[in-house]
A = this chain, B = another copy of it.
Amino acid sequence: MNILIKNVNILTMTEENKTIIGDIAIVNKIIKHIGDVPETFKADKIINGDNKLAMPGLVNSHTHIAMSLFRNYADDLPFWEWLTEKIWPVENKLKPEHTYWGSMLSIAEMIKSGITCFADMYFFMDETAKAINQTGIRASICRGLAGNKNEGLEKIDINKKLYMDYHKKGDGRITVMFGPHAPYTCDPYYLQKTIEVAKELNTGIHIHLSESEKEIEDSIKAYGKSPIQHVNDLGLFDCHTLAAHCVHLSDRDIEIIRDKNVHVANNPGSNLKLGNGFARIDKLLKEGVNIALGTDGSSSNNNLNMFEEINLAALINKGVNKDPISVSAYTSLKMATINGAKALMLEKEIGTLEEGKKADLILVDLNKPHFYPKFNLISAMAYSAQASDVDTVIVDGKILMENTEFKTLDIEKIQYNASRCAEELVK
C-alpha cells in the first residue's frame, strides 16, 4: 500500500537537534520519500499530519513481555522476597497459553505507546512469535537460558530451533538472538556452549549483566572478576552482545564494553524500582558506547512505557551527575530509537526516518495543552510527552494503530484473556 503523510513535523533522528516540516511517502514496507514528495506520487491512503510529529518508532531494547501477567502483583518488597517468593513460584506454573496472552497484552500496550520494535527474552517464545506475527509488530526474540554442564542444555537447542523457525520470518519482522540469562544463572561451560552456537549461526547474544551489587560481589567471589570481565574472558563479547542493565561498572569494565563494542540496554525505571541504582550512562556515552533504552518486564516497572524511560534517562543522569547538561533531550531520544536499532542489529532497516529504510514510524498528536507553546519539539518529546500522545503507529508500512485505535488486534479479548491467565497463575 502507498501511504502519504502530509504536512507533518518530522524528527528524522539523522541530524542532531533538528526537525523539518514536510511530507512522507511510503511504498509498501519502505520510506520512499521524506520531506519533499513528488506531486506525481499516487497514494492509496493520505494521512493529514497537521499538528502532529512523525518520528521513528521506539525500540524497547530489553523486556520480558509475557511478565505483564504479573503487573502490580508484587511491589514494594525486598528484591529476593519479590523474586523467590512471588515471581518464581508463579513463573513455574507458566504454560504456553499464558505466554501468548501476556505477549498479546504487552504488544497492545507497546503499540499504544509508540513502541514498534522490542528485544524479548522469556519462555515459550513460539507463542510470542505467534503474537508478533498476528499483530504486525517487529522484534528480536530469544529463549531465556539458564543452566550448567549437567542441566538445561536442551534449552540451547530450543533457542537454536527458535532461530531456525523464526529468524527473518514474519515478513522479516522477527529476528532471533541467543538469551543466556546471566553469568550467575549460566555456568562458564553453559555460556561457552551458547557462544559456540551463536557464533555458528552468526547471531547476537542478549544477556543481563551487572544489574545488582550482589551480582558483582558474587562474581568476584566465584571467579575473581567482575561479570563483564568474566564473560569477556569466556569470549562472549566476540558475538554481537546486547547487555541489559550494566548498572555497576568499574572503569575497567567500561573499557572492555567500549573496546568490544558491547551494546548496553539501559533500564532506568527497573533499576530504580528494584533498588539497584543508577547506571553510569554519562561516562559510557562519553566513551562512545552505544546505549539503548528498555523498559524491562512490567513486573518490575510496572508498564512498558518508553516515553517514561526517555524522560527518566534525560532527567536522572542530570540529577546523579549534578549537571543540567548531562544526557540531553536529543540523546535520550537517540537511545530510544537508532541506538536501540543498533543494539538489535537492525540499524540498516529501522531507527531513523530515511529514504530506503523500513517504514516503522509513529505520529505524536501535538494538540495537547502540555505541548504549548511549541518552542522545541525535541525537548517536548523528551520532557513533556506522554505515551498516550501517540496517535498513529506504522510498522513495516502497515498501520497498526490510527487515531489511537488498534487495527490488528482485539483489545477487549486480550484484556479479558490476560486477566484470566493471570488469575490462574496466582491462585
A-to-B contact residues, CB < 8 Å = 68-73, 75-79, 82, 105-106, 108-109, 112-113, 213, 269, 271-278, 298, 301-305, 308, 311-312, 314-316, 318-319, 321-326, 328-329, 367-370, 372-377, 379-380, 383-384, 386-389, 411, 414-415, 418-419, 422-423, 426
Whether the Cβ atoms of A78 and B324 lie closer than 8 Å is yes
Task: Tell me, rounded to whole Å, the shortest Cβ–Cβ distance linking A11 to chain B.
Answer: 14
Give the number of times this chain occurs in the complex, counting copies. 2
A320 to B199, CA, bound (A): 39
Given contacts A318-B273, A370-B305, are A324 and B386 in contact (CB under 8 A)?
no
Given contacts A75-B329, A75-B376, A375-B422, are A213 and B386 in contact (CB under 8 A)?
no
Task: Tell me, rounded to whole Å, the shortest Cβ–Cβ distance linking A313 to chain B.
Answer: 11
**A contact face: mostly helix, strand, loop, or mixed:** helix
Given contacts A76-B324, A275-B319, are A418 and B373 in contact (CB under 8 A)?
yes
A369 to B76, CA, bound (A): 22
Q: Which residue in chain B gives the minimum CB-CB distance to A108?
A: B369
Q: Which residue in chain B gives the minimum CB-CB distance to A304?
A: B370
Which residues does chain B contribute within 8 Å of A368, judged by CB atoms?
A: 112
Task: Tell me, rounded to whole Å, the shortest Cβ–Cβ distance linking A354 to chain B.
Answer: 25
Given contacts A315-B272, A322-B213, are A379 and B302 in contact (CB under 8 A)?
yes
Which residues does chain B contribute within 8 Å of A388, judged by CB atoms?
A: 386, 388-389
Choose from B278, B303, B422, B426 the contact partner of A384 (Cβ within 8 Å): B303
Whether the Cβ atoms of B374 and A419 lie closer than 8 Å is yes
Task: Tell me, rounded to whole Å, the shortest Cβ–Cβ distance linking A427 to chain B.
Answer: 12
The 8 closest A-B pairs by CB, nearest first: A373-B422, A388-B388, A272-B319, A275-B324, A302-B383, A109-B369, A72-B379, A272-B315
Whether the Cβ atoms of B372 and A415 lie closer than 8 Å is yes
Given contacts A72-B380, A324-B77, are A274 and B372 in contact (CB under 8 A)?
no
Which residues does chain B contribute within 8 Å of A383, judged by CB atoms?
A: 72, 75, 273, 301-303
A108 to B386, CA, bound (A): 16
A304 to B369, CA, bound (A): 10
Whether the Cβ atoms of A322 and B422 lie closer than 8 Å is no
A6 to B318, CA, bound (A): 45
Q: Which residue in chain B gives the minimum CB-CB distance to A376?
A: B72
A142 to B422, CA, bound (A): 50
A326 to B77, CA, bound (A): 9
Choose from B276, B328, B386 the contact partner of A319 (Cβ within 8 Å): B276
Given contacts A369-B109, A415-B369, are A375 and B73 in contact (CB under 8 A)?
yes
Whether the Cβ atoms of B379 and A75 lie closer than 8 Å is yes
Of the candidates A372, A379, A380, A426, the one having the most CB atoms from chain B within 10 angstroms of its own CB is: A372
A414 to B318, CA, bound (A): 32
Which residues does chain B contribute within 8 Å of A305, judged by CB atoms?
A: 370, 386
Task: Tell me, rounded to whole Å, the shortest Cβ–Cβ distance linking A79 to chain B.
Answer: 5
**Besides the contacts A113-B370, A374-B419, what 19 more A-B pairs have beta carbons closer than 8 Å?**
A68-B372, A75-B328, A75-B329, A75-B383, A79-B324, A112-B369, A213-B322, A273-B314, A274-B318, A276-B319, A298-B384, A302-B380, A303-B383, A305-B370, A308-B311, A312-B315, A369-B415, A373-B418, A375-B422
Whether the Cβ atoms of B325 and A76 lie closer than 8 Å is yes
A377 to B277, CA, bound (A): 26
Task: Tell me, rounded to whole Å, the shortest Cβ–Cβ distance linking A211 to chain B.
Answer: 12
Q: Which residue in chain B gives the minimum CB-CB distance to A325?
A: B76
A369 to B384, CA, bound (A): 22
Whether the Cβ atoms of A77 and B325 lie closer than 8 Å is yes
Task: Tell me, rounded to whole Å, the shortest Cβ–Cβ distance linking A134 to chain B.
Answer: 16
